[in-house]
Chains A and B, each alone.
Chain A
Amino acid sequence: TTRTPEFLGLDKAEGLVPEMNTEGDVIVGVLDTGVWPERSSYSDAGLGPVPAGWKGMCEQGTNFSASACNRKLIGARFFSKGYEASMGPVDESRESRSPRDDDGHGTHTSTTAVGSSVPSASLLGYAAGNARGMAVRARLAVYKVCWTGGCFSSDILAAMDRAVDDGCHVLSLSLGGGMSDYYRDSVAIGAFTAMEKGVLVSCSAGNAGPSANTLSNVAPWITTVGAGTLDRDFPAYVSLGNGKNYSGVSLYSGKSLPDSPLPFVYAGNVSNSTNGNLCMPGTLIPSLVAGKIVLCDRGINARVQKGYVVKTAGGAGMVLANTAANGEELVADAHLLPATGVGEKAANTIRSYVLSDPNPTATIVFSGTKVNIRPSPVVAAFSSRGPNSITSEILKPDLIAPGVNILAGWTGAVGPTGLAVDSRRVEFNIISGTSMSCPHVSGLAALLKGAHPDWSPAAIKSALMTTAYATYSGGEGLLDVATGRPASPFDYGAGHVDPPRALDPGLVYDITPEDYLDFLCALNYTSLQIASVSKRSDFKCSGERTYTVSGLNYPSFAVAFSTASGSGVSSSTTLTHERTLTNVGPAGTYKATVVTSAGDGGAVKVAVDPNVLEFKAAGEKKSYKVIFTSGSMPSGSVGFGRLEWTDGKHVVASPMAFSWT
């Protein structure tokens, strides 16, 4: 990726990685649409031999030779039996029955995570810079499980089985399948054993935001990643005939529009179709569109397809209007004609102008790539949100990472829009989604694994979470594109990832497989359900013990106060959660501070006991209790806070989310 390494401070981070760093031996497995091995991002220049013990391989297949692998791309496999059993044979005229990526998504995510450095990368001149993955020295193994018709769980499980067996240390899955309980969710099931074998599993949180309760991949043994923006933009503003200008974004790179404004029409008025405003194929009347700029509303068909529809109808340009569903979210596209996307507010004003002015005109002015955009990061509107609908007492997402307008490697099979008519071929493309933020964290996890080979997946996840930031440098809370107001831990979890600090977190919240089994007992899972998840068919929850979800040593807190039944108002309640911190840094004395302010957080009194922890040696563990006392609150209230331990150098921060049900 370009710009992200600077935005994340990776240049600083590398200074922190101890010389004995074994990043070059860390292997990231990416389960996705495959790989385009010829890309420069898979260069193995400067890499040592393939790590000893590696059992993966490069599978021969259509358009993919076993010699396509090298010391960077050390494994490439494909899994299609499940897909073909349900959807029929792979259509070899459209996709390769091999690890070859005919879509682009897998090349994008794998190069984001561990791509080698490529100077002067860009998408048609946009987002130019040195492109590199998060962990440039880590190795890559690709497991193709996603095909045109989707990603089927029998294939995903086969790939996870293989990837763990092959010797991957991190698995990256930018895919999701709704919200089912852990014992029914194949990714959660596969991830449990992967975790037991020391493999960190990082997954995308989903793109169903900004509505609440829309998360995917919420198992506590998975790292669940939401998306935020970078400090980079691609401004392309609309200039109307009435002299007003409205900002938008675009990656259009062809001939500019003429300087003089062009006639401007609303798609709904140049169509015979009921939903002609959406610029769907065959709905625009060429004689009314030719040579004009068309205002299209977002919805139903792909944004870039709308541009193509306007182009084929003879339109000169397109202004793409956000609706309430997308709010002010501006995602840039490599349109096939001069086009720009504008936020909902601007869209409504522009639509009023084009519908009311007797002779509406407009033009679009493209300004290329701008950096140092503020405020940034901002939580992406599309990023799925909590609360966690499977287990409300586990706060998800865990954290956010860059996921908007991310440049990374691309397939050679389709153009940057993915449209069949797009004959352009690019080495890098810019796309958005939690699919893009997940591999950022997968690559950063590999970086941490290289620096701390003995850390468990939970310790790595803890380091990434407790060092994440939830405020801008001036102290204001991270904003949410969807509201324009400060976001909450239900939106960003612990906050935005901060690699230099994650490499030296001071203390971590570690969790063992047995702790997760206790968690499943706390969920009142049956033995069969626990066996499905954990493969322990003889495990029984103890009748003598009391299991609590809040007893899981999670690096964040989600506290659910229950109201007296039917009253709608909670009585005063006291809840106690216990946590254990492991020292992974020098000896030090840590003091606890608590801030409860956001929302109804002020209604909760939080006491930490003890509130001073003295660590004398690395590896030492200390426990503490957090006592939450809530006054009476109406059901449905929500509040937030933050608990921080600091020794003056390290800050070990945990978000707290309070809800009254």
Chain B
Amino acid sequence: EMKKKKTYIIHMAKSQMPASFSEHQHWYEASLTSVSSSAEMLYSYDTVIHGFSARLSPAEARALELTEGVISVLPETRYELH
């Protein structure tokens, strides 16, 4: 399970950040660690998307999808030069 970690893009509903958090970044980190103690956040995004990217196992990705404030958890895709 752990070996099958992949990168996911997690879209968050910024306006649903719980009052207990002052920074979206902290809320994102807490959401991530709530499903995985070892997950590594790659980037957090705040302009063209609201959310972050992280390495997750499929089970962790599914669990995150059910977490409050998560809009979608999309597997990373690979693009090619044209």
Binding site for B on A (CB under 8 A): 32-33, 79, 81-82, 85-86, 105, 146, 150-158, 160-162, 164-165, 174-178, 180, 183-187, 189-194, 197, 204-207, 216, 433-435, 438, 528-529, 531-532, 535, 537-538
Q: Is the CB of B15 within 8 A of A82?
A: no
The 9 closest A-B pairs by CB, nearest first: A537-B13, A154-B53, A204-B82, A177-B79, A190-B48, A435-B82, A151-B79, A193-B48, A158-B43
Closest to A145 in B: B79
CA distance A547 to B3 in the complex (A): 45
Q: Is the CB of B71 within 8 A of A537?
A: yes
Query: B81 at interface (Cβ–Cβ under 8 A)?
Result: yes
Q: Is the CB of A531 within 8 A of B13?
A: yes
Could you pull out 19 A-B pairs where Cβ atoms are within 8 angstroms? A33-B81, A85-B42, A85-B55, A151-B78, A151-B80, A153-B77, A154-B42, A154-B53, A157-B45, A157-B48, A161-B43, A161-B49, A175-B82, A176-B79, A176-B80, A207-B82, A528-B71, A531-B71, A532-B72
CB contacts (< 8 Å) of B71 on chain A: these are 528, 531-532, 537
CB contacts (< 8 Å) of B40 on chain A: these are 85
CB contacts (< 8 Å) of A154 on chain B: these are 7, 9, 42-43, 53, 76
Interface residue tally for chain B (C-beta within 8 Å): 29
CB contacts (< 8 Å) of A156 on chain B: these are 79
CB distance from A170 to the nearest CB of B (A): 15
CA distance A545 to B71 in the complex (A): 25
Q: Is the CB of B7 within 8 A of A161?
A: no
CA distance A177 to B79 in the complex (A): 4
CA distance A216 to B80 in the complex (A): 11
Q: Is the CB of A152 within 8 A of B76?
A: yes
- Contacts A160-B48, A178-B77, A535-B50; A82 near B43 (Cβ below 8 A): yes
Q: Is the CB of A537 within 8 A of B82?
A: no
CA distance A32 to B16 in the complex (A): 34
Closest to A535 in B: B50
Q: Is the CB of B53 within 8 A of A175?
A: no
Q: Is the CB of A177 within 8 A of B55?
A: no
Q: Is the CB of B77 within 8 A of A186?
A: yes
CA distance A538 to B16 in the complex (A): 10
CB contacts (< 8 Å) of A161 on chain B: these are 43, 45-49
Q: Is the CB of A187 within 8 A of B79?
A: yes
CB distance from A203 to the nearest CB of B (A): 9
Q: Is the CB of A194 within 8 A of B9?
A: no
Query: B63 at interface (Cβ–Cβ under 8 A)?
Result: no
Query: B74 at interface (Cβ–Cβ under 8 A)?
Result: yes
CA distance A192 to B50 in the complex (A): 12
CB contacts (< 8 Å) of A155 on chain B: these are 43
Binding site for A on B (CB under 8 A): 6-7, 9, 11, 13-16, 40, 42-43, 45-50, 53, 55, 71-72, 74, 76-82
Instruction: Choose one: B6, B15, B48; the contact of A194 (CB below 8 Å).
Output: B48
Q: Which of B9, B53, B76, B82 has the most CB of A within 10 A?
A: B82
Closest to B70 in A: A528
CB distance from A440 to the nearest CB of B (A): 13
CA distance A206 to B81 in the complex (A): 9
CA distance A434 to B80 in the complex (A): 12
CB contacts (< 8 Å) of A531 on chain B: these are 11, 13, 71-72
CA distance A153 to B42 in the complex (A): 12
CB contacts (< 8 Å) of A177 on chain B: these are 77-80
Q: Is the CB of A150 within 8 A of B76?
A: no
CA distance A157 to B9 in the complex (A): 9
Instruction: Choose one: A146, A180, A185, A192; the contact of B81 (CB below 8 Å).
Output: A146
CA distance A152 to B74 in the complex (A): 13
CB distance from B12 to the nearest CB of A (A): 8
Q: Is the CB of A150 within 8 A of B48?
A: no
Q: Is the CB of B9 within 8 A of A535?
A: no
CA distance A197 to B49 in the complex (A): 12
Q: Is the CB of B81 within 8 A of A184?
A: no
Q: Which of A158, A162, A165 has the most CB of B within 10 A?
A: A158
CB contacts (< 8 Å) of B72 on chain A: these are 183, 528-529, 531-532
CB contacts (< 8 Å) of A175 on chain B: these are 79-82
CB contacts (< 8 Å) of B53 on chain A: these are 81-82, 154, 157-158
CA distance A152 to B81 in the complex (A): 11
CB contacts (< 8 Å) of B47 on chain A: these are 160-162, 164-165, 193, 197
